[in-house]
């Protein structure tokens, strides 16, 4: 048996085409384009690539996208002033501050300064709380994309055991909340988990979001499980690898996402979806 490949690129393309239709309808109704503003502070090379991809994807779908690049030595006060201006700007539907931020800036303060109804990343405490209490406004893009990937192959979620490895605020925790809301039983693992393989082997749905190349090996996967690899790791030879040892796990799993071409493209697609949702909400 070999796992079904969940093609994130194809699903992202389809999602972006749907956003493009919504964006055109919005523009006709509102007399303006839906707008996302991305702020990058400093010159982190990976962040530069991420923000460029986000801006390009917006433009390709017919959204207005502004990229604000600030020098690495920008003060926290200056960044907060910029965010205030964007909060008040009615042509801006979504604000995204690319993380990580330079050390003089407290990212928590910055995220909390973004108006919750423009926080298309879904990281603001109001949005995290809304998700936790079952009335989500913006679902964080990566786990939201994973849910769409599971839907795309009609994965049974209700009653399934979902094991999530990694418990960050941006991936693991919101992933757990979304799967729980969909009726799964959740195990959320972190670096202190005592016997990780014993946990992962119970998973009908296994989500790896750790940042350790090839941490999940074949012996850690229940035959037939759906394996979602969120990890993006740059290896010494320059190649990208996920948190799952793809080649060894593929013959065991029922379905699997590749890296690259899996969760990554869906994250960007869901950012566009969130921006559209924000714009449409603003219109009514
Ligand atoms: P993070 O903030 O560093 O969190 C990593 C989590 O993994 C923590 O909860 C940590 O536990 C846990 N962990 C570390 N080592 C572990 C181990 N040996 N066993 C079990 N758990 C362990 O990372 P993140 O921001 O969530 O990102 C995770 C990965 O996803 C990275 O590779 C990142 O590049 C990637 N990512 C991809 C996308 C995408 O679009 N595909 C988006 C975001 C992130 P503790 O809580 O105990 O420290």
Mean pLDDT, the chain, rounded, equals 97
Pair (203, 94) in one structural domain: no
Pair (72, 148) in one structural domain: no
Pair (73, 171) in one structural domain: no
Whole-prediction pTM: 0.97
CA of 51 to the centre of ligand 1 (A): 20
Catalytic one among 64, 98, 229, 250? 98
Residue 203 structural domain: 141-264
Pair (93, 207) in one structural domain: no
pLDDT band at 284 (very low <50, low <70, confident <90, very high): confident
Ligand 1, atom 18: closest residue by C-alpha: 191
In this prediction, residues 51-78 reach a mean pLDDT of 97
Q: Is residue 174 part of a domain?
A: yes
Q: Is residue 102 part of a domain?
A: yes
Q: Dihedral of the CA atoms 260, 262, 266, 267 (nearest 10)?
A: -60
In this prediction, residues 242-270 reach a mean pLDDT of 97
CA of 165 to the centre of ligand 1 (A): 8
Ligand 1, atom 46: closest residue by C-alpha: 190
Catalytic one among 7, 119, 121, 245? 121
- Please give the pLDDT value at position 54: 95
Catalytic one among 7, 33, 54, 119? 54
Pair (180, 90) in one structural domain: no
Check if 173 is active-site: no
Residue 178 predicted with pLDDT over 90: yes
For ligand 1, residues with CB inside 6 Å are 142, 165-168, 170-172, 189-193, 196, 209-212, 230-233, 263-264, 267
Q: Is residue 197 part of a domain?
A: yes
Domain CATH code at residue 43: 3.40.50.10860
Residue pLDDT, tens place only, 65-111: 999 999 999 999 999 999 999 999 999 999 999 999 999 999 999 99
CA of 174 to the centre of ligand 1 (A): 13
Of the chain, the percentage scoring pLDDT greater than 70 comes to 100
CA of 207 to the centre of ligand 1 (A): 11
Residue pLDDT, tens place only, 155-173: 999 999 999 999 999 999 9
CA of 164 to the centre of ligand 1 (A): 10
Residue 26 predicted with pLDDT over 80: yes
Domain CATH code at residue 217: 3.40.50.720
Check if 54 is active-site: yes
Q: How many domains does the chain have?
A: 2
Q: Is residue 46 part of a domain?
A: yes
Mutate to test the pocket of ligand 1, among 107, 145, 211 (most ligand atoms within 8 A of CB): 211
Q: Is residue 125 part of a domain?
A: no
Pair (101, 189) in one structural domain: no
Q: Is residue 103 part of a domain?
A: yes
Q: Is residue 163 part of a domain?
A: yes
Q: Is residue 249 part of a domain?
A: yes
Pair (202, 254) in one structural domain: yes
- Please give the pLDDT value at position 259: 97
**Helix and strand counts by DSSP (H, E) for the chain:** 10, 11
């Amino acid at each position: 048996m070999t796992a079904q490949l969940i093609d994130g690129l194809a699903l992202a393309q389809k999602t972006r085409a749907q956003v493009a239709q919504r964006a055109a309808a919005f523009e006709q109704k509102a007399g303006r384009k839906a707008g996302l503003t991305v702020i990058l502070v400093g010159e982190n090379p990976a962040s530069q690539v991420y923000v460029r991809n986000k801006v390009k994807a917006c433009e390709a779908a017919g959204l207005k996208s502004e990229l604000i690049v600030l020098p690495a030595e920008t003060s926290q006060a200056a960044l907060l002033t910029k965010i205030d201006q964007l909060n008040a700007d009615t042509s801006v539907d979504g604000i995204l501050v690319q993380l990580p931020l330079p050390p003089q800036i407290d990212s928590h303060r910055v995220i909390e300064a973004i108006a919750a109804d423009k926080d298309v990343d879904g990281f603001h405490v109001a949005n995290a709380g809304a998700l936790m209490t079952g009335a989500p406004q913006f679902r964080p893009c990566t786990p939201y994309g994973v849910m769409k990937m599971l839907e795309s192959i009609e994965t049974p979620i209700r009653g399934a055991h979902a094991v999530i490895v990694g418990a960050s605020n941006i991936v693991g925790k919101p992933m757990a909340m979304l799967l729980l809301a969909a009726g799964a039983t959740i195990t959320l693992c972190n670096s202190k988990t005592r016997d990780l393989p014993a946990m992962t082997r119970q998973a009908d749905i296994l989500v790896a979001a750790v940042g350790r190349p090839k941490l999940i090996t074949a012996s850690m996967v229940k035959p037939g499980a759906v394996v979602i690899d969120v990890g993006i790791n740059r290896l010494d030879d320059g190649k990208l690898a996920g948190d799952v040892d793809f080649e060894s796990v593929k013959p065991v799993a029922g379905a699997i996402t590749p890296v690259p071409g899996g969760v990554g493209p869906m994250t960007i697609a869901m950012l566009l979806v969130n921006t559209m949702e924000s714009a449409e909400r603003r219109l009514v």
